[in-house]
């Protein structure tokens, strides 16, 4: 099954292509974006974006992850959104990043809502979870807007750039969607 293409009011979420690599490197490689995520390196070296994009199709084929480019008609690629799947447990971890020039426009929330709906409705997930560094409350606000519940704060849980970071964990269950 090919990578799904999802549409929202303002966004098209589509598979990444090799042509996206320079934009990924520029946007994800921005220190402000990289510093707020566990997995984005800084500096973002040549070849890293290509390697990341190359793995997406097999990740989806194997149902381990669904990673989509967040695009707008006017700006093209503005970020990424994805679900890291654990289908044997009917759950996924939501992740996203948006390039700095496109912050505070609601794109992360809009993209994440569409991917979560796909996860629940098409993949039969029961639980979608997400985490953010305690020093990045904007990401927590996205999770709250998505209807997620704060579950835990794991103190000094991960190491990023030689600093221990508290990880704030949120989740939403399929049953939560209908009981607001």
Dump the DSSP string for 98-149: E-GGGTTSSHHHHHHHHHHHHHHHTT--SEEEEEEETT-HHHHHHHHHTT-E
Give CA angle at 153 (150, 158), nearest 5°.
130
Residue 76 falls within a domain, yes or no? yes
Give the range of the structural domain holding residue 83, as residue numbers without chain letter. 6-178
Residue 29 falls within a domain, yes or no? yes
Residue 1 falls within a domain, yes or no? no
Domain count, the chain: 1
Residue 172 falls within a domain, yes or no? yes
Going by their DSSP bridges, the two strands 91-98 and 12-14 should be labelled as unpaired
Residue 32 falls within a domain, yes or no? yes
Query: What integer pLDDT is reported at residue 48 of this predicted model?
Result: 96
29 in Cβ contact with 47 (< 8 Å): no
User: What are the φ/ψ torsions at residue 110 (nearest 5 degrees)?
Assistant: -65, -45
Residue 34 falls within a domain, yes or no? yes
pTM of the model: 0.95
pLDDT per residue rounded down to tens, the chain (180 residues) = 799 999 999 999 999 999 999 999 999 999 999 998 888 988 999 999 999 999 999 999 999 999 999 999 999 999 999 999 999 999 999 999 999 999 999 999 999 999 999 999 999 999 999 999 999 999 999 999 999 999 999 999 999 989 999 999 999 999 998 765
Query: What integer pLDDT is reported at residue 180 of this predicted model?
Result: 54
91 in Cβ contact with 115 (< 8 Å): no
Q: How far is the C-alpha of 109 from the C-alpha of 88, rounded, in Å?
A: 26
Going by their DSSP bridges, the two strands 65-72 and 12-14 should be labelled as antiparallel
Partners of 152 in beta bridges: 169
First vs last C-alpha separation in the chain: 33
74: domain CATH number is: 3.40.630.30
3-state DSSP call for residue 72?
Answer: strand
Query: What integer pLDDT is reported at residue 178 of this predicted model?
Result: 75
Query: What integer pLDDT is reported at residue 38 of this predicted model?
Result: 84
């Amino acid at each position: 099954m090919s990578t799904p293409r999802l549409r929202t009011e303002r966004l098209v979420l589509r598979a990444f292509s090799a042509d996206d690599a320079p934009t990924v490197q520029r946007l994800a490689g921005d220190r402000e974006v990289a510093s707020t995520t566990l997995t984005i390196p800084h500096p973002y070296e040549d070849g890293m974006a290509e390697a990341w994009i190359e793995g997406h199709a097999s990740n989806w084929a194997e149902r381990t992850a669904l990673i989509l480019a967040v695009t707008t008609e006017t700006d093209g690629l503005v970020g990424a959104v994805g679900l890291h799947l654990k289908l044997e447990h009917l759950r996924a971890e939501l992740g996203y990043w948006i390039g700095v020039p496109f912050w505070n426009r609601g794109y992360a929330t809009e993209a994440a809502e569409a991917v979560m709906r796909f996860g629940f409705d098409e993949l039969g997930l029961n639980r979608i979870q997400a985490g953010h560094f305690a020093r990045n409350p904007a990401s927590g606000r996205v999770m709250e807007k998505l209807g997620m519940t704060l579950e835990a704060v794991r103190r000094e849980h991960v190491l990023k750039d030689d600093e221990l970071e508290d990880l704030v964990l949120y989740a939403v269950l399929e049953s939560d969607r209908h009981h607001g």
